[in-house]
Structure 1
Amino acid sequence: MNLKKQIKLNSDNASSTKHILVALLLFFLPFVGIFCAIVSVDNFKNYNSPYWFTFIFGIIGLIIALFISRKIKPYIVLNNKMIDSYDNLKILFIIGFIGFTLLIAQKLNSKLSVLEKCESTIVLQKIFHKGGFRRPEKNILIVNINGENQKIISERKYWENISVGQLAKVCVYKSYIGFDSLELLEEK
């Protein structure tokens, strides 16, 4: 059955409840997806490769969203006018789904990570990046772990209370999917 006939059938059988549900889903999905992305980014800020994590799982989310959006098109498109604007609806769906994918991947990575060690290490340097328009404030501590200087983004209150030369308790987590992370124990 071609898409025009499927849409005619959907339009004839669609109740006003279905119209409302589709509209609400497509309206709220991008906002929920953006919220999920913000939560996940805040949680993976101390990964060794946060940009690669975002890129890889963002692309995975994009591919899955494109596949799903193609499969659900006959059920979402309720009239001929929606055929022309389906690409806009698909973009909203993709934005939401990428956010979901990032949050699920971050949670999965956390569950698959094992504590390798916790050690007290000296704070070598403190760096403050002032926030501004579209740029968050960053409170960075530089510590030496396994002979390498590592940066850890901390909460402002913790960053203000610790000095260069003081000990910070840092835990190293190894992940089975390759996105290792660091965590400040005193921040919990």
Structure 2
Amino acid sequence: MTKSKKNAIILGLFIFSSLFVSLFLTIIAFQDIPKYNSPYIFTATVSIIGIFLGYLVLKKVKPIILRFSLKKNDDGTMSALVLMIITGIIFFAFNELNISLSQKTKCDSFYITNKYREESGFRKPEINTLVVDLINKKETVVSKHEFWLSKEIGDRINLCFYESFFGFNYIEINE
């Protein structure tokens, strides 16, 4: 095996193993998404930041990829993988940073006014939702299935509200 082929294999293994680590970190971060008050805005914002930073990293590592690649003119696949890796890592890091910098503003007990469940299906996760009355507005809180089953309409649940430094506030069940 030639040295360039060996280097290409090592580069490929490094990128693909990094991709799996990035996907694992993204899955961990996505477990916190239902807590956020604006989960879609959070996801879109962090994804855009991740793609932008991934593009900056790609500009720095592209010469290395081209140097060790067996196909000199086809760097599109590796470029896409590098963008996905950086975006996943940024997603995890920003989520953890947001949670660690958030401050608890209040914890209180609220009445459940409604509850509903969306069954899982093809490309559709199971969602167990409790609707609570926050004096002047209704708020939805996603919970685990066991917790959802144990609560009835009219029961009280303890919720903690967190205010984030970045503006991505969230609510957490405190039971």
TM-score (norm 1): 0.86
Do the aligned residues in 1 keep the contact of 2:162 with 2:170 (CA within 8 Å)?
yes
Determine if the alignment matches structure 1 residue 82 to structure 2 residue 76: no
- CA drift at 1:13: 8.0
- CA drift at 1:140: 0.3
Determine if the alignment matches structure 1 residue 65 to structure 2 residue 65: no
Do the aligned residues in 2 keep the contact of 1:29 with 1:92 (CA within 8 Å)?
no
- Give the letter for the 2:22 counterpart: G
Distance 2:61 2:166 in 1: 31
Query: Which of residues 152, 159, 163 in structure 1 aligns to 2:141?
Result: 152
Partner-residue secondary structure (3-state), 1:83: coil
- Give the letter for the 1:36 counterpart: L
Distance 1:13 1:20 in 2: 10
- CA drift at 1:177: 0.6
Give the % identical residues: 28
- CA drift at 1:15: 8.5
Distance 1:107 1:99 in 2: 12
Distance 2:9 2:69 in 1: 17
Equivalent position of 1:177 in the other structure? 166
- Give the letter for the 2:105 counterpart: E
Distance 1:79 1:14 in 2: 6
Equivalent position of 1:101 in the other structure? 90
| Larger of the two Rg values belongs to structure | 1
Give the RMSD, CA atoms, in angstroms: 1.8
- Give the letter for the 1:170 counterpart: L
Equivalent position of 2:81 in the other structure? 92
Do the aligned residues in 2 keep the contact of 1:47 with 1:180 (CA within 8 Å)?
yes
In the TM superposition, what are the counterparts of 1:29-68 in structure 2 within 5 Å?
29-68=18-57
- CA drift at 1:83: 2.7
Partner-residue secondary structure (3-state), 1:82: coil
- CA drift at 1:27: 1.4
Distance 1:130 1:180 in 2: 27
In the TM superposition, what are the counterparts of 1:109-188 in structure 2 within 5 Å?
109-186=98-175
Partner-residue secondary structure (3-state), 2:31: helix
Q: Which moved more, 1:123-132 or 1:146-155?
A: 146-155
- CA drift at 1:95: 1.2
Do the aligned residues in 1 keep the contact of 2:26 with 2:88 (CA within 8 Å)?
yes
- CA drift at 1:30: 2.4
Distance 1:51 1:75 in 2: 35
- Give the letter for the 1:164 counterpart: I
Partner-residue secondary structure (3-state), 2:10: helix
Structure 1, unmatched stretches of 5+, are 1-11
- Give the letter for the 1:65 counterpart: G
What number of residue pairs does the alignment pair up? Answer: 174
Partner-residue secondary structure (3-state), 2:35: coil
